[in-house]
Amino acid sequence: MKLVWFRRDLRTVDHTALHQAIQSGEPVCAVFIATPGQWQQHDMAPIQADLIYRRLAVIRAELRQLNVPLFYQEVGSFDESVEAVISLAQRLMVNEVLLNIEYELNECLRDQELKQQLLALGIACREFHDRCLLPPGQVLNKQGEFFKVFTPFQKAWRVLASVPKVTTTSPAVRPQTTDLLNVDDCCEPFSYPRISSAAWPVQTNQIRDLLRTFCRERVGEYHQQRDFPALTATSGLSPYLAIGALSVRQCLARLYQESQHGVLSAGAESWLNELIWREFYQHLVYFQPSVCRGKSFHPWGEQLIWHHAPEYLQCWQQGVTGYPIVDAAMRQLNQTGWMHNRLRMIVASFLTKDLHIDWREGERYFMSRLIDGDFAANNGGWQWSSSTGCDGQPYFRIFNPVTQGKKFDPEGDFVRHWIPELQGVSKRWIHEPWNAPCVSSLSYPQPIVDHQVERTLTLSLYRKAKDNGCHDS
């Protein structure tokens, strides 16, 4: 019997470990281990926990159609997940455990421990690279090292990549029926806090339709519209990629299938580039595990002097900084569990370079709210914005929240939607309401800092940190 350990790969279509197990022709069982202690430690958002909970019910039903029972267990700590899998493997007398590789440091250490213990028991363990189209180690520079800058990485990636095949399991190759199909399959207890994710469908056909609709109807304009948060221009698929309800292979295969004779449009090329960014950050986590321990990618980043300003941090979190585009973005995050990508860069720049607050505070808060929270992408994005990361924006590039608002929300529609206090403010003043003639009647706060003053301070702080970092090396 084969045992497949599901983690952040909550799908039955194009699931490498499951596919290989079923192809063996032997009986197959699956298991999902909930680890609320580790989720809490990693600040998993309650809305993402709810998405996982709802998706597990779908997976359980789909696996049942494949004659594969899903066992569910909740354990007290992350380390205990290994014990739980081994205990189940012994109880079921399986001859092999199959799993898809996760690249974060703790997850790698967990799987190493699992393999060692299984080996001692005479149980085989097979791992598969399933999270990326091209796994870490396959995209290297001429010196055989991993890329530390995105542009050459994506050029090398494009040379190596090909249109992927999506694997499906035909009813004709279902594994042998086991007498375990009537296992108690309720996902209880699921003690981690949950907030409703009902706005996000979880049925496989619904997720597939979202992908198809985007690739057919919106991807063509993606390169022109993707930066404007008032438009419905992005794919909305990031939550499904984050929990593995959708694979990158499915995304790429559909993108090419909807293209004209296999030639991608400018919009499709732009979205492909975003998927390559996702792969880039997954590779970085694997090759630079120190980022999983809260370290800056560039050592000089540890020399930065951050301000301890809990009152400013709270203003930023609650969306009351006095800068409309920042506040609208944070309110979108707090109310929906999602934030537009352009806005993620704006609010990250504001926290680190206007408020001088450690990027780790922002990273942590995002993970605690995002339905699409993914460690590699979130860490990579925050370090990029704070200029401490791999391929980060130059430290002297500091987003002006007023000009960013005017450029990407020119009519003020997005701001007015999320900040009702500014409903009556005209387009001219919507991004700097403190200058509006009606400012005295607004219940909206004044800016908590002066951007130009803070910009000057940021340049000084970063120069000192880089100089000290050079001296230390």
Q: Catalytic residue positions?
A: 274, 277, 306, 341, 359, 382
209 is in an annotated binding site: no
238 is in an annotated binding site: yes
372 is in an annotated binding site: yes
222 is in an annotated binding site: yes
279 is in an annotated binding site: yes
301 is in an annotated binding site: no
271 is in an annotated binding site: yes
389 is in an annotated binding site: no
424 is in an annotated binding site: no
SS (H, E, C) the chain: CEEEEECCCCCCCCCHHHHHHHHCCCCEEEEEEECHHHHHHCCCCHHHHHHHHHHHHHHHHHHHHCCCCEEEEECCCCCHHHHHHHHHHHHHCCCEEEEECCCCHHHHHHHHHHHHHHHHCCCEEEEECCCCCCCCCCCECCCCCECCCHHHHHHHHHHHCCCCCCCCCCHHHCCCCCCCCCCCCCCCCCCCCCCCCCCCCCCHHHHHHHHHHHHHHHHHHHHHHCCCCCCCCCCCCHHHHHHCCCCHHHHHHHHHHCCECCECCHHHHHHHHHHHHHHHHHHHHHHCHHHHHCCCCCHHHHHCCCCCCHHHHHHHHHCCCCCHHHHHHHHHHHHHCCCCHHHHHHHHHHHHHHCCCCHHHHHHHHHHHCCCCCHHHHHHHHHHHHCCCCCCCCCCCCCCHHHHHHHHCCCCHHHHHHCHHHCCCCCCCCCCHHHCCCHHHCCCCCCCCCHHHHHHHHHHHHHHHHHHHHHHC
195 is in an annotated binding site: no
168 is in an annotated binding site: no
60 is in an annotated binding site: no
297 is in an annotated binding site: no
275 is in an annotated binding site: yes
Binding residue ranges: 222, 234-238, 271, 274-281, 372-374
Binding site for FAD, by residue number, is 222, 234-238, 271, 274-281, 372-374
